[in-house]
Structure 1
Amino acid sequence: MRRILAAFCILGCSSFVVAGSGSPDAIETAAQVDQLLGQHFASEGVTPTGLVCDEDFLRRASLDLGGTLPTPGEVTRFGLNSSQAKRAAVVDKLIESTKFGELWASYWTQVIFLRATEQRSRLVQPAFEKWMQTQLNENRPWNDITRDLITATGSVLEDGQTGLIFAHAGEPEEVAAEIARIFMGVQLSCANCHDHPTDSWKREQFHQLAAFLPRVTVRQETPGDPRSFSIRSLNANGPGGRDGMLDPAQVIQYLDRNRDQKLSKQEARGPIAARFDFTVSMFDKDKDGLLNAAELKEAQLQGNQQPGRGSSEYYMPDLKNPSSKGTLLQPAFFLKEVKGPRLSPGADDQARRNALADYVTSKSNRWFAEAFVNRIWSELVGQGFYMPIDDMGPQRQAVNADVLHYLAEQFTATGYDVKWLYRTIANTQAYQRQLAPDSSPISQVPFAAATPTRLRSDQVYHAIFGVFGITEDLRFSNRGRGDMMLQAAGLDPQKVGFAVLFGFDPSTPQADLLGNVPQALFMMNSPQLDSQLRAAGQTRLARLLREQTDNQDALDELYLLVYSRLPTAKETEINLAYVKETGDRAEAFEDVLWALMNSTEFLSKR
């Protein structure tokens, strides 16, 4: 209670407002974006807010491009730098840091896995996040990353690109809907059972999209081992190989060493050997402990009737007669204006999925580039051209559509250079604008003022560690059996626990994101944070107070540490008065730090 009352005094008068070679040049593109936006502002009769000060810009860019707060020293040096190009330079430095890949790999992990329908998908998250870090830090083109995610095969623990498919257990309808949503910003899932109620998409179009994916199979290579899942291709017409569906009679003929027309456990090889005991227990009709061709075929057919286990062809369910096989459909892309390859009816899995990737990433598919631009712009600027960011399409109207089209065209011209897009957006005046009060008319004009945005869980996590100056474990979770299971899967239990508390689907509009009571209680009362808020021992606060014996200097250092800025004159007056009134310097500064970290400003981008 003491700290809560202190916070009203300390923060009551805060000024914070709550609410490749040959490629287009990023700086020139940013200037053109601002020019186009300026024309919109003029037509609306509004003057946009000015640019943020150096301290606010550095904090904003550091959180957006590196996921961490700048140190007090970095804030001071940046402010003293007189170069006109220092903002562009710090953007370049942050984007080329490995922290860029770490931050945005975490972002894409949340985009994909927070909507996962496969509960075991947490197993693949470490491999996916590591893989995505590499893609982003090496600046692989977005179309190549997208293709890898759509066409992935391999072990879910070793091949991170399998993450999207495994997150939905290889279910064609679920994977198809997510491909449309994530990579084109189009919501097709409503057309699964009926024609879309608000868009032009027909039910048949949705299922024709899913028809690119029936031959994907998610299988457990070692029965009973949940860590042995892999994504494979089921190819009904080929000679098979490891990923094929062989004729059971041919399998028996090839492996049957004693020529009794049956397969024993000793004769079995590969995936059949791995699943032999399970297959015998389920399909050995004559109970002789062996598998004949008929039993092996039944096992294969039964397995292929399960979602994610692969099927030779795709059938759209008959809603009036659910027990029927349904209507056979061949793959077809739902955007008729998009150019892509023609598939033969017997095309195998990789041919189908590569064709789907061709359609999705085609330069004739404007939704591919626009969806990525809209998503990243929204995350950096605070609002998108389309909102929600994953509900675009021909029946939706973008704000400042000419700006989106221009930026997407330039992004396409770079060969889908991911870092180029971040660099371009961060160099716009739109990104660098000041906040405006909610009641101001300026706040109602898109991109005329900055939009306050809530930090994602990974940004808050690293900000807390940065303020306390520690790298060791704060023990955010209970250290129980669940932690051991997470560690066995390669996950950090502390970060997972924190993400459960503070995480949210990054596709959610900022206006729909609200803090909750458990989050507030954690920040106010958790023993993990309380132990680091003490002004005694070897905490960051204790060291700061020992080094800064003058209260004004200590307060300045604390504000730089938490807010990346100096306190205003009014904040200085209030805080120093509180320290004097309290009579206990250590206790007073504990309260100040507690109040700062429990403020909206700490948990948001300003």
Structure 2
Amino acid sequence: MKSRLFGSLACWLVVLPFVRAAEKPAPADDPVFIAKAARSIDATVAAWYRKEKLEVPAVTDDSTFLRRAFLVAIGRIPTVEEARFFLEIDDANKRVQLIDYLMKSPGYASNMTNWVFDLLRVTDDKPGFNGSFEPYRYWVRTAMENNMPWNEFTHKLLSAKGDGWDPETAAVGYYTRDRGMPLDNLANSMRVFLGSRMECAQCHDDPFGTTERHDFFELAAFTQGQGGEKQDLMKGLWDEINDGEKRRSTDYDVAQVMWDRVYGLSLGGTGEGKIKLPEDYQYRDGQPGQLIGAKTPFGKGVRISEKNDKGGGREMLAEWVTNKTGEQFASVAANRMWKHVMGRGVYEPVDEYKATKELHNPELMATLISLMGELNYDLRAFQKVLLNTKTFQFVPNPEPAKVATGDDFHGRQLSRLSAEQLWDSLITLASGDPDKKPRRSLDDRIYVGRKPVLVGKKNMVQVSKEVLALDSEAAVRSYFDKLLEEVKKGGGGGGGDSMGMMAKVQTYDSKAQVRASELPSPAPRNHLLYLFGQSDRIVVEGASREPNVGQVLSLMNGYVQEQLVNNSGAHLYKSLEGAGSDEEKIRRLYITILNRPPTSEEMGWMQDEVKKSGQNGYRNIVSALVMSSEFLFLQ
């Protein structure tokens, strides 16, 4: 009999052919397609083994697969209930069922949110800016939850314009997060989406590549002009209020709502398509201060004349990146996903694109690029295929790769857990399935002096829409006066969906026992996430998995001791309920923490500890297992 863990999925698979009798299922929903695609990948890897005369690794055991699948797919270890069910069920198809279960879990979106936050450097706010990137963060999180195709996600980011609080255009946060640094933003875009490292060309021709400084500025012309939409209409009012004593007044706080939290989050224009070369330009192909038009440096040529006044540069750039760069966009996306699942890219670094024909296994990369296209850039389905391969299931290999660059596929490499994987696993042990807790919602309240005002009467979505609709300085001043009066009286503007605006806002501070994806981004410096290497979101993929003394001290004297070892109410201790012997209790603790039963030798050690220390022996076992290398590493 199927458990409820897989029951709904099993039923879905059974009725699928009848529900869709008149239409062919989408590849992502078709188990036959998924299995066939997985076999195709395994075939290319097997051919590589034969070519290199290497022995094919063995398939890993159920315990290792269980923990690996959970950590890779949803970023945490299984709960004791999930682990015991999988290990105890006798079903030849249970690995496939487990993958289906994981990829439909809300934990998948949480895990992908962490990945994208790191890639795009998503933060709640930034130094020197008195607004917040709350709507942008929420947009990214929702995109992962809705499984937005990667090409659509990329296009929306690069072509974004308009109101930062409008759910349809909140992707403008991709640009407003880097306001004042448009060249850095462009360099990051090329690195993230196309695997092209062009940052050196901001200042000089790249001595290690082919990009010239002129090329970089031609590309930057597509996104030139990234000011706040209509922000000049408030410039005079802001200059009057942003002065001396007025900065300590309610007038200033209310003006700041409009200046930073509305105009500061909006993005005007559409990309000018032209740009002036810098005053220190030093090459013969242009003069300092010369106006040049936009032009792409590779792929299908796209250009805009410097005489053009119609704009539209960001849309053209987005279209070029996603559709006119040959295999490059698909290759970088596929390689990033391969590394996310398998632990190492087909080529490394993943942000330095290499043409398929130049790789040590071009057949595999060609297969992955083709699959990405067949799945229409559905990253969930793409990962599902990879998880179903035998390649993913190979035993871990402690030896380094046998090729200088890239993956040699000879067993999955051992790696430390990321900060997010560790945190999410610890809170799973402390309080059970963290995916059952409410996710952080959009905080669209109006903050004046760091306190929410006009709650249930007006929110930032409404204010932003109204402010950006104003078309004169007089109208802006009038709106400000009205908003200031409402705030001082504690009244409200009403209008809109008052019931919707009164809905409870779910927020979490850094002390909350919830998923890393729901916590402030980035975590404060005293948080376990920071200590274990979470990115500070300053540079692309800035996370670290390097060990340090602070991590050891944190485990010995911090969270593990407070929330697990010395917390009798921790969820992991519930696994001991109903156990009739010391042996069974020890076995359950091992399954709960390491997701495997103990060896006979380990069982003997732990039984001796319980006999010696009594009930405290179980706490000592918990401490030893959680701080073990086996718990801190992904096999």
TM-score range, shorter chain: 0.7 to 0.9
From 171, 174, 196, the counterpart of 2:181: 171
- How far, CA to CA, are the matches of 1:395 and 1:32 in structure 2? 17
**Cα shift readout 1:486-506 (whole Å, capped 9, x = no counterpart):** 999966323423332223459
Written as runs of structure 1 = structure 2, the 5 A alignment for 1:123-138 is 124=132, 126-138=134-146
- How far, CA to CA, are the matches of 2:268 and 2:532 in structure 1? 32
2:597 equivalent in structure 1: 566
**1:79 matches 2:87:** yes
Opposite residue 36 of structure 1, the aligned amino acid is T
Seen in structure 2, the aligned counterparts of structure 1 residues 117 and 485 have a Cα distance that, compared at 3 Å, is closer
Seen in structure 2, the aligned counterparts of structure 1 residues 312 and 382 have a Cα distance that, compared at 3 Å, is closer
Written as runs of structure 1 = structure 2, the 5 A alignment for 1:67-466 is 67-113=75-121, 119=127, 124=132, 126-156=134-164, 159=167, 160-169=170-179, 171-217=181-227, 219=228, 232=229, 242=230, 271=231, 274-279=234-239, 313-319=274-280, 326-335=289-298, 337-338=299-300, 340=302, 345-349=307-311, 351-362=312-323, 364-393=325-354, 397-438=358-399, 446-466=408-428
1:224 equivalent in structure 2: none
Seen in structure 2, the aligned counterparts of structure 1 residues 442 and 575 have a Cα distance that, compared at 3 Å, is farther
Partner SS, residue 434 of structure 1:
coil
Partner SS, residue 295 of structure 2:
coil
Structure 2, unpaired ranges of 5+:
1-24, 244-262, 438-448, 453-504, 512-518
From 502, 517, 536, the counterpart of 2:532: 502
Which sits farther off after the overlay, 538-547 or 56-65? 538-547
**1:468 matches 2:430:** yes
From 61, 64, 73, the counterpart of 2:72: 64
Shift of 1:383: 0.5
**Cα shift readout 1:179-207 (whole Å, capped 9, x = no counterpart):** 11111111111111122122212211111
Report if aligned partners of 2:414, 2:634 keep a CA contact under 8 Å in 1.
yes
Report if aligned partners of 2:164, 2:173 keep a CA contact under 8 Å in 1.
yes
- How far, CA to CA, are the matches of 1:26 and 1:544 in structure 2? 35
1:10 equivalent in structure 2: none
**1:598 matches 2:558:** no
Report if aligned partners of 2:272, 2:309 keep a CA contact under 8 Å in 1.
no
1:557 equivalent in structure 2: 588
**1:42 matches 2:50:** yes
Seen in structure 2, the aligned counterparts of structure 1 residues 56 and 128 have a Cα distance that, compared at 3 Å, is farther
Shift of 1:352: 0.6
Which sits farther off after the overlay, 203-212 or 273-282? 273-282
Seen in structure 2, the aligned counterparts of structure 1 residues 103 and 55 have a Cα distance that, compared at 3 Å, is same
**Cα shift readout 1:11-44 (whole Å, capped 9, x = no counterpart):** xxxxxxxxx7267922211111111111111121
Shift of 1:435: 0.7
Seen in structure 2, the aligned counterparts of structure 1 residues 54 and 486 have a Cα distance that, compared at 3 Å, is farther
Shift of 1:522: 0.8
Partner SS, residue 222 of structure 2:
coil
Partner SS, residue 52 of structure 1:
coil
Partner SS, residue 379 of structure 1:
helix
Which sits farther off after the overlay, 183-192 or 272-281? 272-281
Opposite residue 558 of structure 1, the aligned amino acid is L
Report if aligned partners of 1:558, 1:593 keep a CA contact under 8 Å in 2.
yes
Seen in structure 2, the aligned counterparts of structure 1 residues 50 and 460 have a Cα distance that, compared at 3 Å, is same
Higher relative contact order (CA 8 A, sep 6+): 1
- How far, CA to CA, are the matches of 1:106 and 1:598 in structure 2? 24
Q: TM-score, normalised by structure 1?
A: 0.73
Seen in structure 2, the aligned counterparts of structure 1 residues 467 and 334 have a Cα distance that, compared at 3 Å, is same
Seen in structure 2, the aligned counterparts of structure 1 residues 441 and 386 have a Cα distance that, compared at 3 Å, is closer
From 498, 510, 528, the counterpart of 1:493: 510
Written as runs of structure 1 = structure 2, the 5 A alignment for 1:538-549 is 538-540=569-571, 543-544=574-575, 547-549=578-580
Report if aligned partners of 2:35, 2:385 keep a CA contact under 8 Å in 1.
yes
- How far, CA to CA, are the matches of 1:141 and 1:535 in structure 2? 44
- How far, CA to CA, are the matches of 1:451 and 1:334 in structure 2? 37
- How far, CA to CA, are the matches of 2:309 and 2:235 in structure 1? 28
Opposite residue 493 of structure 1, the aligned amino acid is S
**Cα shift readout 1:123-144 (whole Å, capped 9, x = no counterpart):** 6554334322322232222111
Report if aligned partners of 1:385, 1:401 keep a CA contact under 8 Å in 2.
no
Seen in structure 2, the aligned counterparts of structure 1 residues 491 and 172 have a Cα distance that, compared at 3 Å, is farther
Seen in structure 2, the aligned counterparts of structure 1 residues 206 and 115 have a Cα distance that, compared at 3 Å, is farther
1:532 equivalent in structure 2: 563
Identity %, equivalent residues: 22
Seen in structure 2, the aligned counterparts of structure 1 residues 326 and 137 have a Cα distance that, compared at 3 Å, is same
Seen in structure 2, the aligned counterparts of structure 1 residues 74 and 538 have a Cα distance that, compared at 3 Å, is closer
Report if aligned partners of 1:139, 1:418 keep a CA contact under 8 Å in 2.
yes
In the comparison of the two structures, how many residue pairs are matched?
498
1:517 equivalent in structure 2: 549
Opposite residue 21 of structure 1, the aligned amino acid is A
- How far, CA to CA, are the matches of 1:390 and 1:518 in structure 2? 30
- How far, CA to CA, are the matches of 1:567 and 1:393 in structure 2? 44
Report if aligned partners of 2:331, 2:365 keep a CA contact under 8 Å in 1.
yes
- How far, CA to CA, are the matches of 1:196 and 1:604 in structure 2? 38
